[in-house]
Structure 1
Amino acid sequence: MAERLGIPHHRLDTLAVDEDASVARFQREARADIAAITARGLHAIVVGGSGLYHRALLDRFEFPPTDPAVRAALEARGEDEGPGVLYRELAAADPEAASSIGPANTKRLVRALEVIHLTGKPFSSGLPRHEYEVPAIQIGLDVDHAILDPRIDARVEAMWEQGLVDEVRTLEGHGLRDGVTARRAVGYAETLRYLDGELDAEATRALIAQHTRRLARKQRQWFRPDPRVAWIAGPVDPSDVARAAADAIAVATGHAR
């Protein structure tokens, strides 16, 4: 809480660990937050996170139908046969979607195959386009992997030292293993394997760092093609980033000197 510096934050601590996250619910509730902030004469700052959720929030994006039975059957296959089977099936049906999602994101593979099954159309045809529903100025921080990767390693070590294992053990009692979203989250998924005796501490930390680096690269791949993003390259000092972001906002709003 101290790190929030008294600034109101939204969309944090909204789900129990046994609830599944829904991009449609996030879109609805986060847009309501933005509307309320705007109505107070203020500006919302969106910080992300998942590229899909970010785009669903800001861009025109309608959600295709869902069927709990179809989804459950696909999830069961993912659990029993592994995500690789789902990925190969998606690659055959919709190569663009498979390339975008990758072979490790079981949840999104399931969703893509569910949509194809229900609509008969490629999942990629329904992905959001670069067209705002909620107008925004987008700023991306482009940090070289030589700088980013050691910071990820240090972050994982800090998480471990500050009680990640105890946190996961406690959350088990609140239904963590029953939550499709939470139990697969980077950090939780690997620590559950540690508690099950599959991994030792060193291997667990290494795997969390590896999966976090993979996530960072996927974020870069997601946002890089968006021509609306103003990229800040190079600086990592917070004051340098703040000045560069202010300059980007000034240019976007026509107030550059």
Structure 2
Amino acid sequence: MTRPLAVVGPTGTGKSALALALAERIGHPVEVVNADAMQLYRGMDIGTAKLTPDERGGVPHHQLDVLDVTETATVARYQHSAAADVDAILARGAVPVIVGGSMLYIQSLLDEWSFPATDPAVRGRYEARLAEVGARSLHRELAGVDPAAAASILPTDGRRIVRALEVVELTGRPFAASAPTIGTPRWDTAIIGVDWPTELLDQRLAQRTDAMFASGLIDEVRALAERGLRDGVTAARALGYAQVLADLDAGGDGTAAREPTFVGTRRYVRRQRSWFRRDHRVTWLDGATADTAALADSAVRIWRDVS
């Protein structure tokens, strides 16, 4: 069996380009498995920097465009379907290259996370409570029963607050007890991380944000709104999309969303960096010191160093 290779790291570091370069150098057929939660959605293309079919260069890509914006993306669903993709790719004798920056999605896939059960009645009760008192008040309630969970979840992240409270009630254990244990990665996957110095990455994020708005992000959001984007639990909160929707709903034309999109992306990058840097299995490459081809050569050497 040829082991997979995962390319992880913060947004805007060039992971997708590196995956395509790997396909040219790895010496086996390569198929990409997406690990960006928002690229699961059909029509969310510009704001997620999703490669177009032409840009994929004939390399098969999986876990793209598998959900409508009204559907809810879940880590458990992703884990099941992405693992099936990886197994099928390996069975074909090809190399799965797992690419993305959605932290929980990647760890669930590589560490075979066993998810606590869910109870619709308990979940519904906390969701009703969320609607009644708001995320910040519910976050304070979480802090009263599980301070560690409250410290790790943003006070504005209502969905995760609800899930943490549900898990604590159903299991009688802290939310962190359900987190995966970092051990030998599934399939003996080699994990490559790509990052840039903060100042340089901030510049790239600013350019990326400008390019998205110039390429029609506002029109993309308008079109998705007609398809039910506002009703989506997860899609409507995506960076860029949430900010444009908020501006449109306030009577603007969407252009005022540019700055909050950049600020939100930069904040998210800090969270990604903190998460991935805790994983001792990641071998880091500096995107600022080499071009994509050289990074791919380094990644291939790491992948061939079978553990």
* TM-score after normalising by structure 1: 0.91
SS in 2 for 1:45: strand
Which of 26, 34, 38 is matched with 2:78 structurally?
A: 26
- Structure 1 134/123 Cα, relative in aligned 2: closer, same or farther at 3 Å? farther
Q: How far 1:89 moved relative to its partner?
A: 2.5
Q: Deviations over 1:16-69 (max 9, x none)?
A: 000001111111110000010000011101011211010111103111111223
Provide the residue aligned with 1:72 in structure 2: 124
User: Which one is further off, 152-161 or 193-202?
Assistant: 193-202
- Structure 1 103/244 Cα, relative in aligned 2: closer, same or farther at 3 Å? farther
- Structure 1 47/224 Cα, relative in aligned 2: closer, same or farther at 3 Å? same
Q: How does 1:84-103 map to 2 (within 5 A)?
A: 84-103=136-155
CA distance in 2, matches of 1:200, 1:209: 17
Q: How far 1:80 moved relative to its partner?
A: 4.7
Provide the residue aligned with 1:54 in structure 2: 106
Q: How far 1:214 moved relative to its partner?
A: 1.3
Q: Confirm or deny that 1:146 pairs with 2:199.
A: yes
The amino acid that maps onto 1:50 is: S
Provide the residue aligned with 1:135 in structure 2: 188
* Runs of 5+ unmatched residues, structure 2: 1-52
Contact 1:57-1:134 at 8 Å conserved across structures: no
Q: How far 1:166 moved relative to its partner?
A: 1.1
The amino acid that maps onto 1:235 is: T
- Structure 1 241/103 Cα, relative in aligned 2: closer, same or farther at 3 Å? farther
Q: Confirm or deny that 1:188 pairs with 2:262.
A: no
Q: Confirm or deny that 1:13 pairs with 2:65.
A: yes
Provide the residue aligned with 2:41 in structure 1: none
Provide the residue aligned with 1:253 in structure 2: 306
Provide the residue aligned with 1:169 in structure 2: 222
Provide the residue aligned with 1:217 in structure 2: 270
Contact 1:17-1:179 at 8 Å conserved across structures: yes
Provide the residue aligned with 2:258 in structure 1: 205
SS in 1 for 2:55: helix
The amino acid that maps onto 1:56 is: S
CA distance in 1, matches of 2:125, 2:210: 37
The two structures, once aligned, show a CA RMSD in angstroms of: 1.9
Contact 1:18-1:175 at 8 Å conserved across structures: yes
Provide the residue aligned with 1:2 in structure 2: 54
CA distance in 1, matches of 2:87, 2:264: 35
Q: How far 1:198 moved relative to its partner?
A: 6.2
Provide the residue aligned with 1:115 in structure 2: 167
SS in 2 for 1:180: coil
Q: How far 1:79 moved relative to its partner?
A: 4.3
CA distance in 2, matches of 1:77, 1:5: 48
Identity %: 48
Q: Confirm or deny that 1:241 pairs with 2:298.
A: no
Q: Larger % of strand: which?
A: 2
User: Which one is further off, 74-83 or 178-187?
Assistant: 74-83
Structure 1's consecutive aligned runs of 4 or more residues displaced over 6 angstroms after TM superposition are: none
* Runs of 5+ unmatched residues, structure 1: none
The amino acid that maps onto 2:108 is: A
Q: How far 1:201 moved relative to its partner?
A: 4.5
